[in-house]
Structure 1
Amino acid sequence: MAQAGVVLDKDQFNCPICLDVMKDPVTIPCGHSYCCECIQDYWDQDDYLGIFVCPQCRQNFSPRPALARNTMLADVVEKFKKTGLQEDTMSANQSFAEADDVECDVCTGRKNKAVKSCLVCLASYCDVHVQPHYESAAFKKHKLVSASKKLQETICPRHDKLLEVYCRTDKQCICYLCLTDEHKGHDTVLAEAEIQQKQRQLGDMKQSSQLKIQLREKEAQELRQAIFSLTRSARAASEESDAVFTELIRSIELKRFEVRELIKAQEKTAISQAEQLLDKIQKEITELKKSEAELEKLSHTEDHVHFLQSCQSLRAPPVLSALPSVTVDPNLTFGPVMTAVSDFKVLLQEVCQGGFVNIYEKGRHKCWCSYLTNNSSSVCSGTKLSSGSRSRHLQRRAHPRRK
C-alpha cells in the first residue's frame, strides 16, 4: 500500500516575528510557536509593563511565562532542512520583483528581485546575474552593497563620480573632484572613516541609552515592589483596625446591655415598692369607706334610744399612716442614671477624638508614600487631617465634661 505524500510549505515553519525558519522553537501558553530568541527579545521590550502579549493572538500573560523548547517542532524543522525541501520550495517559487522591490537591471522580460547593487557599475543584480562579480577578476575591485533604489544618490551630480569623501565643514558627501573647487581647504575625511566614527558614536549613544533603560527598569521594578508591599501592608492594617473597632463596638454593646438591665432592675424595684404602698392605701380606703357607711346608716336612725346607744359604741375612724411622697416624673426617678450615661458619652467622645487625632498624626509621620516620591506632602495629603478638622477635634477635646 502506497504511503500518501505530505506537501510541506516553508511558511509553515516560519517564525511570525523574524519571518525566517524557526531556530530553537518554543511554544507559549496560547499555543503559538516562535524562535526562542525572537520571543525573548519581543517580551524584553514589554518587561517594564509587567504584561506580556502574544504577537499573533494578542493574548496577555502575567507574570512572564517560562519558555520550554518544543522538541517535536524542532525535530520537524530539522528534518525539513535536511531533506532540502526548503531550498526546493524557494527555487520553485521564482523570486520575481514586486512593487517595492529593487529590480535586476540585467533581467529581460519579467525582472527578478535584485539582491546586490554595485557602486562601480551603478547597477543592481539578482542572484544569477551577480555571480560574475564573485567569479570574475574583472569585477574584483567593484564594491557590492545591499540592493538599493538610490544608486544615483551615491553619484556626484556635478562630476558623475562616486561620493567617497565626507566634508565635515558642510556636513555632506562629496567626490574627489569636489575637493579641488568649492570644498577646497575644508575638513574632509573618507566616507568610510566618517561612517566608522559615526557608528562608534551611535554605539556609545546606544550603550548610554541601554544604561538609562536599565536604570529606569530597575526603578520601575522597585516601584512595583513598593506598591505591592504598600498594598499588602494597607490590607493587613485595615483588617487589624477592623478587628480592633469590632471589639470596641462589641464592648460598647455589652455596656449598653448592662445599663439597660440596671434600669430594668431599678424599674422593677420601684414598681414593687409602689405596688406595696398602693395595696396599703387601698386597704385604708376600704376601712374608711366602711366607717363612712356605718356613720351614714346611723345618721338616718329614727329610734333615739338606739341612736344614742350606737353612738356610744362607735369606733374612732382609722388613723392614716404616714406615706412617702410619690412622684410620677420618670426623669426624676432615673435622672442620676441618665446623667451618668451622658457623662460617659462625653468622656467616650473625648477619648475617641483624642485617639483619632493620634492615629492621623501617626499615619502622617509614618506615611509609606514618602518611599514612592520625594514630594510626600502632596501625594499623602489624603491621609492628613485638614487644619479645620484638627481645629474641630481640639475644640471638642477642650469642652468641659458635663457634671
Structure 2
Amino acid sequence: MTSLFCSLKKNLNKFIRPFSTAQQPLTNTDMSAASCLQSEDQFLCSICLDVFTDPVSIPCGHNFCKNCITQHWDVGDQYWCPMCKEVFTTRGELHVNTLISKMVSQFRHEAEQKRSSSSEQQVVKPGEVPCDICTGTKLKALKSCLVCLVSFCETHLEPHLTASGLKRHQLMDPVKNLEDRMCRKHDKPLELFCKTDHTCVCMLCSVLDHKTHEFVPLKEEYEGKKAELDKTEAEIQQMIQKRRMKIQEIKRSVRISKEGADRETAEGVQVFTALKESVERGLNQLIQEIEDKHKTTEKQAENFIKELEQEISELRKRSSEVEQLSRSEDHLHLLQSFQSLEAAPPTKNWTHVRVHPSSYEGTVVRAVAQLEEMLSYGITKLFQAELNRVQQSEVDVTLDPDTANPELILSDDGKQAHHSDVKTNLPDNPQRFSKSVSVLGKQSFSSGRFYYEVQVKGKTGWTLGVVRESINRKENIPLSPDDGYWTICLRNGKEYKTFAGKDVFLNLKWRPEKVAVFVDYEEGLVSFYDVDAANVMHCFTDCSFTEKLYPYFGPCPNDGGKNSAPLIITRVK
C-alpha cells in the first residue's frame, strides 16, 4: 500500500487533499446540493489524491478512480477497501458511477471558471514559478513542498494547510527545479549539511558516503550562514554608507572649491579691472600732457607768425610807396614828396627770436614711475587683503618642551625660544631634537587651514615653517620637502633662502620683523608672509601631505650674543 501510494504520487507529480469522508449513494436532491459545493473534498480519490477519473463505487460504498482501485487490488492477495479496510470475498465487476462522473465533470468546469475569474495578478508571469497542478492557464505558485517536490498555487495549496498528514510537509517560498533539492545518488531529499565537505547531503549519504563526517541539519547551517550573511550585509551597508558620506564630502569639497574659485575670480576681476583702469588713466594723462605741451608750442608759433605777417604787410605798403616815388622824373615832386613820405613803421629784431620745440624727454618715464607707484600701492593693498583673509585661520600655537633641543630656553608661557650656550640635562626621548637647535609646536594639524605669526626682530639667523611628524630628530639633515621640511630661513643676517633640493635665495625689498606661516592642508600649500609689509615671501605649492604637520621653530645659535633675540609667537593684531 505504501509503495503504491508513493509510486502514484511521484508519477502524477500532483498532490491534493486526501478524501476524508465516505461517499454514499446520492439522491437527486443530494446531487443538486452537491453541485453547489465549492470545495474539492467530495471529489477526491483517496488513492491518487486527485479529482476522480472514471469514478466507481465498491460494495462498501466508497468511491475511487477505476484505474486506482484496479491497480490496488491487482498488487494484493485480498480485495479490501483502502478507506474502511473492509475485506470482500469476490472482486466483482466495476462499473463507472455515472452520477458521480457527472458531478466531477461539473465540479471541474466550476473550478476552471473559478480559477479563470481569479485576479489576473495570480496568473504566472515570466520569471515567476508556476503551479505544477494547474492545467490550462498556469497560476502563480505561492509555496513549494520539499516532500512532494511540487509547487502549488493558492487553490492547490489548501490541502497542505488543512490535512493533518500534509501539515508536516516542509513548505518554502516557490522555487524552480525542485529536483535539484533531491540527492542525485539516492533520490532522497537533501536534509543535512556536511561540515567536512561543505556540501548538502541526504540521510543515506550520512550513513554511507559521509559516515565519518560531521553533520548538522540544513536549518541549523542555514541559520548560521544567514547570520554570517546578515553580518556581511551590515558591513556592506556600513561600507556603502561610508562611501556615500565620502561622496558627500568630495561634493562638499568641490562646492567649497567652486565657491573659492568664484570668490577669487571676482576679486581678481575687480583688482585687474581697477589696474586696467589705472593704466588707461595714466595713458590718457600722458597723452594729454604731451598734447598740452605741443599746443603751447603751437600757440606761441602762431603768435609769432601773425606778428611777422603784420610787419610784412606794413613793409610791403611802404615798399610800394618807395617804388612809386623812385620812378618819378620830376625833381621837384620827388624832393617834396620824399619829405612827406611816412617814416618806416617800427619793427622787431627777429634775429634771436626762436620757437623752441617742447621737450618730451622723461614724460613717459615719469608717467610710468607714477603708474608703478600707484600699482605698487594697489598690489600692497591686494596683499594686505590676502593677508587679512588668511589671518582668519589663526591658531594658538605653543612650544612643546618635550621636543626642544637641550640648548634651547623656552619661556614659561611656551611662546618664546632662544639659544643658550649651556646644555640642559634633559631626557633624550624620541620626540626631542638632539643636534638641530629646534623645537616643535604642541599642536598638530592633519586637515584644514592654520596660520600663526612669529616675531624675528633683532635676529641674524632663524628657521620657520612646518614639518611632518616622522622627520628625523636625531641628526642634522637638509631642511627640504623631500625630508619632510617646508621652511624658509635667514642666515648671516642678510641671506633669506629656502630649500628645495638646493638653496633658493629670496629677493626681499625689506627686512621682515614678523613672519607669518599659512598652511592649507588639502590644497598642499605653505605660504610665508612679511606681516608688516603685507608681502608674500615664498610659497610651496602642490605639496603632498599624508601625515600630521607640526609648526617648526629654529632660533639658530646665538652667535656670541649677536643672535640672542628670541623667536616670539605673537597674536594677530
1:156 aligns with 2:179: no
The equivalences for 1:83-122 within 5 A come to 92-93=118-119, 95-97=122-124, 101-107=128-134, 112-122=139-149
Q: Is the contact between residue 188 and residue 202 of structure 2 (CA under 8 Å) also seen in structure 1?
A: yes
The equivalent residue for 2:360 is: 335
Partner of 1:130: 157
Displacement, 1:97?
A: 4.8
After superposition, the C-alpha distances for 1:147-166 in whole angstroms (9 at most, x for unaligned) are: 22221111111111111122
2:249 matched to 1:222? Answer: yes
Q: Specify whether residues 202 and 317 from structure 1 end up closer, same or farther in structure 2 by C-alpha distance, changes over 3 A only.
A: same
Q: Is the 8 A contact 1:287 1:318 kept in 2?
A: no
Tell me the CA shift for residue 256 of structure 1. Answer: 4.7
Secondary structure, counterpart of 1:160 in structure 2: coil
Alpha-carbon deviation of 1:280? 2.5
Query: How does the TM-score come out when normalised to structure 1?
Result: 0.54
Q: Does 1:194 align with 2:221?
A: yes
Letter in 1 for 2:249: E
2:325 counterpart of 1:325: no
1:189-244: per-residue Cα shift (whole Å, max 9, x none)? 33222212221111111111111111112222223333333333433443344344
Identity of aligned residues (%): 34
Aligned pair 1:173/2:226, yes or no? no
TM-score, normalised via structure 2 length: 0.40
Query: In the aligned structure 2, how far is the partner of 1:269 from the partner of 1:191?
Result: 113
The letter of the residue matching 1:333 is: S
| Length, aligned pairs only | 280
Alpha-carbon separation, structure 1, partners of 2:125 and 2:344: 142
Deviation per CA, 1:274-318: give whole Å up to 9, x if none. 233223322332343344445434543434566677778886796
Equivalent pair of 2:123/2:139 in contact (CA under 8 Å): yes
Secondary structure of 1:189's counterpart equals: strand
1:344 counterpart residue number: 367
Amino acid at match of 1:234: A
Give the Cα–Cα distance (whole angstroms) in 1 for the partners of residues 347 and 169 of structure 2: 149
For the Cα contact (< 8 Å) 1:155–1:161, is it kept in 2? yes
Secondary structure of 1:157's match?
coil
1:61-72 residue pairs with structure 2 within 5 A?
none
SS of equivalent to 1:183: coil
Q: Distance in 1 between matches of 2:127 and 2:291?
A: 98
| Equivalent residue runs for 1:4-403 within 5 Å | 92-93=118-119, 95-97=122-124, 101-107=128-134, 112-303=139-330, 320-322=348-350, 323-326=352-355, 332-333=357-358, 335-336=360-361, 339-345=362-368, 348=371, 355=379, 376=523
Task: Assess if the C-alpha contact under 8 Å between 2:149 and 2:179 holds in 1.
Answer: yes
Amino acid at match of 2:349: S
Matches of 1:225 and 1:244, distance apart in 2:
28
Query: Residue 374 and residue 283 in structure 1: after superposition, are their counterparts in 2 closer, same or farther (change >3 A)?
Result: closer
SS in structure 1 at match of 2:184: coil
1:168: Cα distance to partner?
Answer: 3.9
How far apart are the structure 1 equivalents of 2:240 and 2:355?
A: 90
User: In 2, distance between residues paired with 1:311 and 1:111?
Assistant: 152
Residue deviations 1:239-275, cap 9 Å, x none? 3443444444444454455445544544443333223
CA distance in 1, matches of 2:281, 2:318: 56
Secondary structure at 2:193's aligned position in 1?
strand
Structure-2 separation of matches of 1:351 and 1:272: 33
CA distance in 2, matches of 1:254, 1:112: 89
How far apart in 2 are the matches of 1:89 and 1:228? Answer: 60
1:326: Cα distance to partner?
3.0
Q: Over residues 90-113 of structure 1, what are the superposed CA-to-partner deviations in whole Å (9 max), with x where a residue is unaligned? A: 974374556655444445665544
Q: Which amino acid counterpart does residue 93 of structure 1 have in structure 2?
A: S
SS in 1 for 2:367: helix
More strand by share: 2
Partner residue of 1:29?
none
Give the structure with higher Rg (CA).
2
CA distance 1:297–1:104, shift in 2 (3 Å): closer
Give the CA deviation at 1:349: 6.9
Q: Could you list the per-position Cα deviations for residues 101-152 of structure 1 after superposition, in whole angstroms to 9, with x for gaps in the alignment?
A: 5444445665544322221222233323333323333234321112222211
Point out which structure has higher relative CO (alpha carbons under 8 A, 6+ apart). 2
Evaluate the alpha carbon distance shift between residue 242 and residue 111 of structure 1 in structure 2; reply closer, same or farther with a 3 A threshold.
Answer: closer
